[in-house]
Structure 1
């Protein structure tokens, strides 16, 4: 993905938070190959640091994490600073885990939500 409109459209999809990055995924509905985009803000560091993080993320996706991507989806990975010092295998494993969660939801095979339910307070 290269256009701003594509990145903004992905914001309307599923959001998977994590300690090292955020993944936003949106179903395009066309069933074609998945696409991805990377966001590394200036808060993270100078251009050298941001580009190093982008290269690590691209390589992690290329070497195995892309296998978990669902067809017809756009993915945006919003990086955080600690990706710079994280072992490469951890980056790849975390990305693959997030992508497979999106794929499971897309296939309808998602596990039940185990988060605590919101409870109404007595007034």
Structure 2
């Protein structure tokens, strides 16, 4: 994903957490904040230390990033959202991650 598609600043993360709406399934939590004047979505990915060591956490982030880039055309354009991985995400395959993300995005009305 390009830098323009990422939520990087702590203030932006906090804004989405405090003002956005959350939706979850067993593997992921998604916080969504509408930004009406935005030309494309921005996403932040958070994988906590409870998930595993750095290798495991980075693998989960890579799978989430790849899944979101494949779903890019389906996602709403005027939102910021944060994806938080839960413990079961560490043992999932790429296809399982993608289907789980699609499920939680449908619940959050991002698709």
Q: TM-score normalized by structure 1?
A: 0.75
What is the match of residue 59 of structure 2?
52
Instruction: Identify unmatched segments of 5+ residues in structure 2.
Output: 1-6
CA RMSD of aligned residues (A): 1.6
CA distance in 2, matches of 1:84, 1:67: 26
Structure 2 counterpart of 1:97, from 91, 95, 103: 103
Count of residues paired in the alignment: 103
Structure 1 residue ranges without an equivalent (≥5): 105-123
1-side partners of 2:77 and 2:69: how far apart? 16
Report the counterpart of residue 4 of structure 2 in structure 1. none
Runs of 4+ in 1 over 4 A off after TM superposition: none
Select which of 30, 36, 44 maps to 1:37.
Answer: 44
Contact 1:21–1:78, Cα closer than 8 Å, also in 2: yes
Aligned equivalents of 1:75 and 1:69: distance in 2?
A: 11
Of structures 1 and 2, the one with the larger relative CO (CA 8 A, separation 6+) is: 2
Which protein shows a greater Rg? 1
User: 1:48, 1:81 → 2: CA distance?
Assistant: 14
1:4 aligns with 2:23: no
> TM-score, normalising length from structure 2?
0.82
Choose which of 15, 34, 38 in structure 2 pairs with 1:27: 34
Determine the C-alpha separation between the residues in 1 that align with 2:104 and 2:73: 12
